């Protein structure tokens, strides 16, 4: 092991420590379950069954993972620049609204153009919203965690106001929605799967972002800014542009998630769009330690845990918040495990 | 009852300020202590919800709402200690831990609170301050709850303590310059953890107000960002406990604007009016922050200022 | 060492897959066994918590009743949002629990979720609570059931009209959609049938479950002089408790909240979902086709009223009982002309009667005269 390249060691460290933290989270959760009178093994088995045991569970897991991949990017990309943005929910709903509006305005256009327009409009609006939080931080010193969350709440209020007011489809009586985009314009499912294209977009976005962040000069500059903004500025890097660029990309990802929800699931924008995907994305991003490639398997894991919530409810009569507890414990332990990096000798480069 | 007409709006807002400001007050005072010691705890939202649930649960199980308040504080204390311990580990970012605590605390509260959504727990009594008024509306608006009184006393006490006691000085020194404090032999990590724990206790008590007084019932939609707004409130109040009180009143009033306007007939845009507290918070933050110089009164070690 | 590294890797992988496969097979066996028992498996899906003293609790009470029927087993899942989550939940109840009759109870589950699942599983029955099923447009294995609870809100209004001393009553609504508007108008019409000078103060909170906003709305109404309130939100618990604390009267909704307001609870408009639930279960057990459009009011036993509280005067009781008797016979029409809305426009012409089954009523978009507020 000592002879292996330092890069391999780092990669191994980056896999083993989080995996260990997740295992520890399972154990802690098991103890908690035992304390309330449930058999931890039965709970684990049900989680496995609900998430990964059959083709059906896998479809369920992947369907849930799809929006999480994109909303996690909304946290992970600004994090590369040192910003902690948690307002992805706001970008998602506004992006979805934009897609629904464009979809309706362009009624009659060829479906391919329509879909592109919807997806792009969602990304643009989502990007704008998160850039707002980034700009407030960059030029006004406002803490971006607080401002992005506040902007998230404000976005939801604006969304509700528009959907139930000026943009409401008069035919959508008992469930106020914007005008439907029509079946022809809806995004389909991935070939062979029962999961919509959101997963495909997420996969492409993650890979692209990973390449951008870890294998290009721009990505390197971004990470330097994230490490030490002052030093970056002194070295002549254009900090403002990089920070806002990262925010724009993250916001575009969340906005894309929103437009996919509209274009692939609902067909119009309504209150069902506000489903907490933004917040679950935060969990995914942190467990993946803000690494775009790691977001993919972590989203599947978190999606799987959420998917198994139904089984836990139906078979063991446990509340739906059970999976929230597991995710919360995993989150905290992953954060605590940050202190373990560099402590284990097996991962350190061989001493000469 | 006499028809108040347009006077209903300011009275409604005043009533809202008195009613809804208490959780803001407690949470912000707690966060004030934590931030003065150089740590930021964004997990207050989770602690608030956990406090609301445990307060309600214990009040129901024991029949005494004050015991519920104490239990809420204890729950907040425990979560605050958790935050402190994890943040004390090297290389751990306190903002990230706060976000994690927010999710963990909320999830745990919903999980344990499932059994308490239905039952009706005894709630805190009120102190009628408006007895002098002939108008029932003014009397109702001035129905003050004892926690608010305790909160005001606490705010005054904290303001005095930060200036005049040894502990206040120690906390402030650790918040301003951990090197200086270490040089003088004070355990930086220990003090920070204690401040976070105390902050958590107060935030838990603030949460118990929601479930044990107003609205006086436990359910999962109880808090919608109040914990986080309280953190913004502390920055707005320039880390001064007394200003926290005024700011809490302001935020409480902003929360009541929506329904007060509707009750006099202004029904347009109720979603936007309901977003008033968030808009006020954001506006205040934009107006008072600056990228160049640190804010007057800001603890030097606070990670959001570096 | 390095050569066997690769071999070890592959072996571990295969072992892992094998273990996963075995576990998976075991899992399939277990779920297979669950379906083998010859009971009718019914799945019930709630959008919120089952014990919310409101909408979901009313559904849960019906589910509890059919659980007691022999030959029926019920699986329930709560807090399922109106997204693909509910599609997956329905799918997993069908595939993993063997459910053949589903009650997805939230309004927003219908389009597109139930429709998609109904196409995918044509042998499964989907009974949706709402009222959107249209002949020719929607698949045959979907049905919608709903109750005319506005009849009970009318009775609430009658009692409120007798009880109010300030002649101001209040209604806290979540969203101004037709079902809610129908309730608001019925409440107002009931009160104004007692005294035409009564006005209803309306406050819209914006969403189905916002406890702080609901408490604020109740308080500001009461500040404005309202002394009887009712509501249409998912969980009336906060409204009822706030009313009791401020010593005014309150009419319940969805389920019975009398326990929360021993002094101020007048009466309440409750669902009696056990009636349509039982009908659907019996149809499923005997193989009769699914009834696609199921509606009923007091007459058919789809809704009921709560017992009168201590604050209800004798005159109010008599009046309400008389109207109720007519409704049970099917003789009473709430929405009849001439009726103006609160902007003065005539919405029901003189001589026109909209009986409860009239689908025009399900598209209501106005507030009746006497309601202070805008739609």
Residue among C98, C97, C104, C135 nearest C118 (CA): C104
Name the minimum distance, in Å, from the CA of C115 to any CA of chain B: 30
Convert the pLDDT of each residue in B203-243 to its tens digit.
999 999 888 888 888 887 788 778 888 888 887 788 889 98
- Nearest-by-CA chain B residue for C222: B137
In angstroms, what separates the C-alpha of A54 from chain C's closest C-alpha?
6
- Is B121:B65 a contact under the CB 8 Å cutoff? yes
Radius of gyration of chain A (CA): 21
pLDDT means per 10 residues in chain A (352 residues)? 69 85 92 90 89 87 92 95 92 94 85 88 96 92 88 93 86 78 77 84 93 93 88 86 95 95 88 86 90 93 89 87 89 88 74 58
On whether ipTM exceeds 0.85, the answer is: no
**Residues C206 and A153: beta-carbon distance below 8 Å:** no
Question: Residue B131's pLDDT band (boundaries 50, 70, 90)?
Answer: low
Q: β-strand C125-129 against C101-104: which pairing, if any? A: parallel
Q: Where are the alpha helices (DSSP H) in chain C?
A: 2-36, 55-67, 84-97, 115-120, 150-163, 178-194, 211-223, 237-245, 274-286, 314-329
H-run or E-run covering C73: strand C72-77
Nearest chain B residue to C245 by CA: give it.
Answer: B216
- pLDDT of A2: 52
The residues near B280 (Cβ < 8 Å, ≥ 6 apart) are: B250, B251, B254
- By CA distance, what is C78's nearest residue in B? B114
The least confident of B58-62, B225-229, C84-88 is B225-229
Collect all residues with Cβ–Cβ distance below 8 Å to B55 and sequence separation of at least 6: B65, B68, B69, B71, B72, B204, B207, B208, B211, B212
CA distance A99 to A154: 19
pLDDT value of residue C35: 44
Judged by DSSP in three states, A270 sits in strand
The confidence score (pLDDT) of residue A3 equals: 58
- pTM score of the predicted model: 0.84
Mean of pLDDT values over C319-342: 90
Split at pLDDT 50, 70, 90, the class of B141 is low
Please tell me the total number of residues recorded for chain C in this structure: 375
CB atoms B215 and C242 under 8 Å: yes
- State residue B280's pLDDT score: 85
Cβ of A313 within 8 Å of Cβ of C77? The answer is: yes
**Nearest Cβ partner for B104 among A140, A147, A328:** A328
Read off the pLDDT band of B140 (50, 70, 90): low
**What tens digit of pLDDT does each residue of C270-302 get?**
999 999 999 999 999 898 888 888 888 898 999
C203 DSSP β-pair partners: C172
Question: C348 near C360, Cβ under 8 Å?
Answer: no
Q: Which residues of A, range 308-327, sit inside 8 Å of C by Cβ?
A: 310-311, 313-314, 320
Mean pLDDT of chain C: 85
Give SS3 for A310. helix
**Residue B1, pLDDT score:** 40
Q: Given its phi and psi angles, is residue C102 left (phi above 0), alpha (psi -120 to 50 degrees) or beta?
A: beta
Tell me how far apart the alpha carbons of residues C156 and C169 are, in angstroms, rounded to a whole number: 11
What lies within 8 Å, CB to CB, of C24 at 6+ separation is A52, A53, A54
Question: Residue A86: its chain B contacts at CB < 8 A?
Answer: 99
> Burial of A134 by CB count in 10 Å (0-12 exposed, 13-18 middle, 19+ buried)?
buried
pLDDT-derived band at B296, boundaries 50, 70, 90: low
Q: How far is C218 from chain B (nearest CA, A)?
A: 9
DSSP state of C288: P
Question: Under DSSP, is residue C204 helix (H, G, I), strand (E, B) or coil?
Answer: strand
Q: What integer pLDDT is reported at residue A295 of this predicted model? A: 94
- Percent pLDDT > 90 in chain B is 24
User: What's the token pair of residue A119?
Assistant: 């997806």
- C351-373 pLDDT per residue, tens: 888 888 887 888 888 999 999 88
Phi, psi of A48 (to 5 degrees): -65, -45
> C158-172: string of b/e by CB count within 10 Å (b at 16+)?
bbbbbbbebebbbbb
Contacts of A151 in chain B (CB under 8 A): 282
Which chains have 3 or more CB–CB distances shorter than 8 Å to chain A? B, C
Contact A324 B289 (CB under 8 A): no
B100 → closest Cβ in A141, A146, A286: A286
Tens of pLDDT along C7-16? Answer: 444 444 444 4
CB contact under 8 A, B8 and C224: yes
Q: Is the pLDDT of residue C234 over 70?
A: yes
Asked if C108 lies within 8 A of A266 by C-beta distance, the reply is no
Give residue C33's pLDDT band: very low, low, confident or very high (50, 70, 90). very low
């Amino acid at each position: 092991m000592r002879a292996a390249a330092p890069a391999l060691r780092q990669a191994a460290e980056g896999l083993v420590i989080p995996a260990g933290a997740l295992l520890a989270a399972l154990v802690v959760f098991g103890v908690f379950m035992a304390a309330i009178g449930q058999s931890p093994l039965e709970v684990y088995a049900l989680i496995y069954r609900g998430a990964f045991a059959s083709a059906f569970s896998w479809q369920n897991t992947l369907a849930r993972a799809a929006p999480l991949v994109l909303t996690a990017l909304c946290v992970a990309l600004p994090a590369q620049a040192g910003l902690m943005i948690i307002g992805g929910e706001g970008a998602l709903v506004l992006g979805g609204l934009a897609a629904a509006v464009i979809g309706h305005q362009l009624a009659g256009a060829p479906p391919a153009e329509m879909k592109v327009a919807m997806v792009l409009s969602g990304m643009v609006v989502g990007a704008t919203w998160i850039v707002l939080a980034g700009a407030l931080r960059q030029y006004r010193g406002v803490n971006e965690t607080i401002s992005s969350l506040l902007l998230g709440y404000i976005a939801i209020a604006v969304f509700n106001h528009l959907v139930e007011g000026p943009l409401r489809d008069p035919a959508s009586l008992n469930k106020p929605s914007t005008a439907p985009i029509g079946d022809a314009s809806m995004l389909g499912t991935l070939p062979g799967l029962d999961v919509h294209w959101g997963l495909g977009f997420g996969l492409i976005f993650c890979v692209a972002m990973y390449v951008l962040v870890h294998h290009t000069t721009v990505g390197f500059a971004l990470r330097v800014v994230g490490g030490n903004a002052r030093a970056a500025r002194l070295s002549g890097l254009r900090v403002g542009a990089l920070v806002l660029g990262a925010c724009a990309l993250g916001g575009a990802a969340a906005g894309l998630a929103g437009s996919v929800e509209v274009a692939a699931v609902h067909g119009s924008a309504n209150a069902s769009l506000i489903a907490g995907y933004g917040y679950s994305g935060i969990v995914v991003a942190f467990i993946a330690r803000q690494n775009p490639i790691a977001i993919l398997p972590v989203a599947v894991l978190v999606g799987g845990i959420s998917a198994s919530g139904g089984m836990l409810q139906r078979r063991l009569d446990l509340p739906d918040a059970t999976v929230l507890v597991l995710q919360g414990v995993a989150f905290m332990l992953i954060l605590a495990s940050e202190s373990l990096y560099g402590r284990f000798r097996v991962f350190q480069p061989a001493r000469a | 009852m006499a028809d108040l007409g347009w006077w209903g709006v300011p009275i409604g807002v005043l009533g809202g300020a008195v009613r809804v400001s208490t959780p803001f007050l407690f949470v912000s005072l707690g966060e004030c202590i934590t931030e003065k010691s150089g740590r930021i705890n964004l997990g207050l939202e989770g602690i608030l919800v956990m406090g609301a649930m445990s307060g309600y649960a214990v009040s129901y199980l024991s029949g005494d709402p004050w015991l519920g308040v104490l239990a809420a504080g204890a729950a907040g204390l425990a979560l605050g200690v958790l935050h402190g311990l994890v943040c004390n580990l090297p290389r751990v970012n306190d903002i990230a831990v706060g976000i994690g605590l927010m999710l963990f605390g909320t999830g745990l509260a919903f999980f344990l609170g499932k059994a308490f959504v239905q039952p009706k727990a005894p709630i805190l009594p009120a102190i009628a301050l408006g007895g002098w008024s002939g108008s029932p509306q003014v009397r109702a608006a001035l129905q003050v709850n004892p926690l608010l009184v305790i909160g005001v006393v606490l705010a005054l006490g904290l303001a005095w303590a930060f200036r005049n006691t040894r502990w206040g000085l120690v906390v402030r020194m650790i918040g301003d310059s951990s090197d200086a404090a270490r040089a003088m032999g004070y355990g930086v990590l220990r003090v920070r953890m204690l401040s976070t724990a105390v902050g958590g206790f107060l935030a838990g008590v603030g949460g118990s107000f929601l479930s044990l007084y107003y609205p006086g019932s436990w359910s999962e939609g109880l808090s919608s960002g109040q914990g986080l707004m309280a953190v913004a409130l502390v920055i707005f109040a320039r880390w001064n406990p007394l200003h926290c009180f005024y700011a809490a009143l302001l935020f409480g009033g902003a929360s009541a604007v929506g329904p007060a306007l509707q009750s006099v007939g202004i029904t347009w845009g109720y979603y936007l009016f309901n977003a008033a507290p968030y808009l006020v918070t954001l506006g205040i933050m934009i107006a008072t922050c600056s990228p160049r110089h640190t804010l007057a009164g800001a603890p030097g070690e606070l990670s959001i200022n570096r | 060492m390095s050569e066997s590294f690769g071999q070890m890797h592959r072996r571990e992988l295969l072992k892992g897959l094998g273990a996963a496969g075995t576990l998976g097979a075991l899992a399939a066996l277990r779920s297979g066994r669950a379906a083998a028992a010859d009971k009718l498996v019914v799945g019930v899906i709630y959008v919120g918590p089952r014990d919310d003293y409101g909408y979901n609790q009313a559904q849960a009470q019906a589910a509890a009743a059919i659980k007691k029927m022999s030959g029926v087993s019920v699986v329930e899942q709560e807090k399922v949002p109106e997204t693909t989550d509910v599609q997956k939940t329905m799918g997993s109840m069908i595939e993993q629990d063997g459910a053949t009759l589903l009650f997805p109870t939230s309004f927003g589950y219908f389009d597109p979720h139930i429709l998609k699942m109904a196409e995918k599983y044509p042998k499964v029955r989907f009974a949706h609570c709402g009222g959107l099923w249209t002949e020719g447009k929607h698949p045959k294995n979907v049905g919608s059931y709903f109750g005319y609870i506005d009849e009970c809100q009318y009775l609430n209004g009658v009692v409120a009209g007798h009880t109010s001393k300030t002649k101001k009553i209040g209604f806290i609504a979540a969203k101004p959609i037709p079902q809610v508007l129908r309730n608001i108008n019925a409440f107002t019409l009931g009160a104004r049938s007692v005294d035409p000078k009564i006005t209803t103060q309306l406050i819209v909170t914006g969403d189905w479950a916002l406890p702080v906003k609901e408490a604020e709305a109740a308080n500001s109404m009461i500040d404005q002089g309202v002394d009887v309130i009712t509501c249409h939100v998912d969980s009336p618990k906060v409204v009822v408790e706030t009313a009791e604390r401020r010593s005014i009267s309150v009419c319940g909704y969805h389920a019975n909240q009398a326990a929360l307001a021993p002094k101020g609870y007048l009466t309440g408009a409750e669902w009696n979902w056990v009636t349509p639930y039982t009908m659907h279960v019996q149809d499923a057990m005997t193989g009769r086709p699914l009834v696609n459009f199921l509606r009923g009011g007091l007459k058919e036993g789809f809704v009921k009223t709560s017992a009168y509280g201590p604050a209800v005067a004798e005159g109010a009781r008599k009046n309400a009982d008389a109207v109720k008797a007519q409704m049970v016979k099917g003789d009473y029409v709430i929405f009849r002309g001439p009726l103006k809305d609160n902007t003065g426009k005539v919405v029901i012409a003189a001589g026109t009667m909209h009986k409860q089954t009239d689908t025009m009523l399900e598209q209501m978009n106005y507030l009746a005269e006497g309601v202070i507020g805008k739609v």
